[in-house]
């Protein structure tokens, strides 16, 4: 195994482009090292990006936020301004793993691991977040929902490396929330995850994004679910329509973590509950 510590993302991308065999980028290592120890994936080339300047910074950017690729969950949770503006994103990240894992785990790692059940990804998708991708032909921005391609797979190409996550400016009267279902109270993987991000005008929802995790091969952005609540004040009928739209968007599998029927039903339940929280966070009275 070759281990690299490049000083820039351009160098990291160049090493990856030339690499032969299995290549992995290492930030927190909470997936890579676990897979290595479990004998699931033994990389031939390991590229540690933690030495690159700025990778651990959370910074203001165009009224929103730029979150470096090696920022840990714990740093996000303790960042008051970020938490005030994007509580849904922060709580989604904070649900992952234990206190020890929180000291290492990153948003970008959670995204690039390609799990449909990744907790932070639905929250980022609902938030309208994007990522910077450094590759052969320079740096480009991609919406978060365009990264996952299927379980364990992304749409990134050989030689691509994600350098940061961008959250848009929060703006007024807006709120987001993420809920997941696990049979326990922590230390588990989402059986269903749902994020809702919305904006209000006088108690009426005027913008919404609804995203579901663990109910399809990739995290879903569910337009029909958003439309079910836009123009409403999140009354009972709107919530039922939201639940129905969320459930009908599901395309899950039966597995050790849950059944198709269970995931489909609970997606609707979580959508309602997350929408209510987002609505209250946006200043709407319920």
Partner 1 sequence: MAPDGNMTNGFKVVGTRPKRPDGIDKVTGRAKFGADATAPGMLHASIVRSPHAHAKILKIDTSKAEALKGVKAVVTRADFAEGLTGENWNILENVMASDTALYDGHAVAAVAATTALGARDAAKLIEVEYELLPHVTDVDKAMADDAPVIRAGAADKSVPEGLHPNVVRYHESGHGDVDKGFSEADLVVEDSFKTEATHQGYIEPHACLAQLGSDGKGEVWCCTQGHFNVQKVCAALVGTDSSQIRVTPSEIGGGFGGKTVVFIEPVALALSRKANRPVKLVMSRSEVFRATGPTASTSIDIKIGMTREGKITAAQGVFRLQGGAFPGAPMEFTAMCAFAPYSLENVHQVGYDVMSNRPKQAAYRAPGSPMAAFAVESVIDELCNKLDLDSIEVRLKNASKEGTKASYGPKFERIGLVETLEAAKAHPHLTSPLAEGQGRGVSCGFWFNHGGETAVSLALSEDGTVAISVGTPDIGGSRASMAQMAAEELGIPYESIRTTVADTATLGYNEISHGSRVTYASGLATIKAARDAVKKLCGRAAAKWGIDEDAVVWEDGCAKPSGPNAGDFEPLPLAKIARSMGRTGGPIVGHYEATPEGAGVSFATHIVDAEVDKETGQTKIVRYTVVQDAGKAIHPTYVEGQFQGGAAQGIGWALNEEYIYGEDGRLQNSGFLDYRIPVASDLPMIDTVIVEVPNPGHPYGVRGVGETSICPPLAAIANAVSNAAGVRLTELPMSPPRILAALDAQANG
Give the residue, chosen from 33, 189, 241, 253, that forms a contact with partner 1 under the rule CB under 8 A. 189
Give the residue, chosen from 39, 62, 172, 236, that forms a contact with partner 1 under the rule CB under 8 A. 39
Give the residue, chosen from 59, 169, 187, 206, that forms a contact with partner 1 under the rule CB under 8 A. 187
Cβ 259 to partner 1 shortest distance, Å? 5
**111 vs 179, beta carbon nearer partner 1:** 179
Considering only 53-61, 85-93, 244-252, 260-268, which stretch makes contact with partner 1 by CB under 8 A?
A: 260-268
Considering only 3-11, 15-23, 101-109, 183-191, which stretch makes contact with partner 1 by CB under 8 A?
A: 183-191
DSSP assignment string, 237-277: HHHHHHHHHHHHH-----BTTB-HHHHHHHHHHHHHHHHHH
Can residue 188 be called a binding residue for partner 1 (CB under 8 A)?
yes
State the DSSP code for 198.
E
Q: How far apart are CA 128 and CA 123, in angstroms?
A: 9
Considering only 85-93, 151-159, 227-235, 264-272, which stretch makes contact with partner 1 by CB under 8 A?
A: 264-272
Contacts with partner 1 by CB under 8 A: the residue count is 21
The tokens describing 250, both together, are: 């599901």
**131 vs 274, beta carbon nearer partner 1:** 274
Asked if residue 22 lies in contact with residue 42, where contact means CB atoms within 8 angstroms, the answer is yes
Terminal C-alpha separation, the chain = 56
Can residue 265 be called a binding residue for partner 1 (CB under 8 A)?
yes
Can residue 33 be called a binding residue for partner 1 (CB under 8 A)?
no
Can residue 253 be called a binding residue for partner 1 (CB under 8 A)?
no
Please tell me the total number of residues recorded for the chain in this structure. 286
The tokens describing 284, both together, are: 């709407």
Asked if residue 146 lies in contact with residue 128, where contact means CB atoms within 8 angstroms, the answer is no
Q: How far apart are CA 151 and CA 60, in angstroms?
A: 32
Can residue 100 be called a binding residue for partner 1 (CB under 8 A)?
no
Q: How far apart are CA 63 and CA 82, in angstroms?
A: 11
Can residue 286 be called a binding residue for partner 1 (CB under 8 A)?
no
**11 vs 31, beta carbon nearer partner 1:** 31
Can residue 138 be called a binding residue for partner 1 (CB under 8 A)?
no
Q: How far apart are CA 97 and CA 124, in angstroms?
A: 18
**183 vs 202, beta carbon nearer partner 1:** 183
The crossing angle, in degrees rounded to 10, of helices 260-281 and 236-249 is 140
Cβ 172 to partner 1 shortest distance, Å? 32
Give the residue, chosen from 20, 137, 202, 256, that forms a contact with partner 1 under the rule CB under 8 A. 256
Can residue 281 be called a binding residue for partner 1 (CB under 8 A)?
no
Pick from 190, 203, 279: which is nearest to 242 by CA?
Answer: 279
Q: What angle is formed at CA 12 by the lines to CA 11 and CA 16, rounded to 5 degrees?
A: 115
Summarize as ranges the residues that interact with partner 1 (CB under 8 A): 38-39, 181, 183-189, 191, 255-259, 261-262, 265-266, 269
């Amino acid at each position: 195994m070759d281990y690299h510590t490049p000083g820039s993302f351009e160098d990291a991308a160049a090493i990856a482009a030339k690499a032969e065999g299995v290549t992995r980028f290492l930030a927190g290592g909470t997936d890579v090292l676990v897979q290595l120890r479990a004998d699931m994936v033994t990389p031939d080339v390991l590229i540690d990006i933690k030495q690159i300047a700025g990778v651990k910074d959370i910074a203001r950017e165009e009224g929103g936020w730029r979150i470096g690729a090696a920022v840990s969950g714990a740093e996000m949770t303790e960042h008051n301004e970020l938490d005030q503006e994007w509580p849904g994103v922060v709580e989604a990240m904070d649900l992952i793993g234990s206190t020890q894992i929180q000291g290492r785990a990153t948003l970008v790692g959670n995204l690039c691991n390609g799990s449909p059940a990744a907790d932070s990804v639905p929250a980022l998708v609902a938030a309208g977040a994007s990522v910077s991708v450094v590759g052969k032909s320079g740096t480009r921005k991609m919406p978060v929902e365009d990264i996952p391609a299927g379980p364990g797979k992304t749409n990134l190409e050989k030689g691509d490396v994600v350098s940061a996550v961008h959250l848009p400016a929060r703006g007024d009267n807006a709120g987001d929330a993420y809920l997941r279902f696990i049979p326990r109270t922590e230390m588990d993987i989402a059986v269903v995850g749902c994020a809702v991000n919305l904006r209000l005008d006088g108690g009426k929802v005027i913008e919404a994004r609804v995203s579901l995790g663990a109910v399809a091969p990739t995290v879903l952005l569910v337009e029909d679910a958003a439309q079910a609540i836009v123009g409403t004040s999140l009354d009972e009928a709107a919530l039922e329509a939201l639940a129905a739209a969320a459930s009908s968007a599901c395309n899950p599998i039966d597995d050790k973590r849950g059944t198709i029927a269970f995931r489909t039903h609970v997606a609707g339940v979580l959508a309602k509950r997350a929408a209510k929280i987002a609505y209250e966070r946006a200043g709407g009275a319920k």
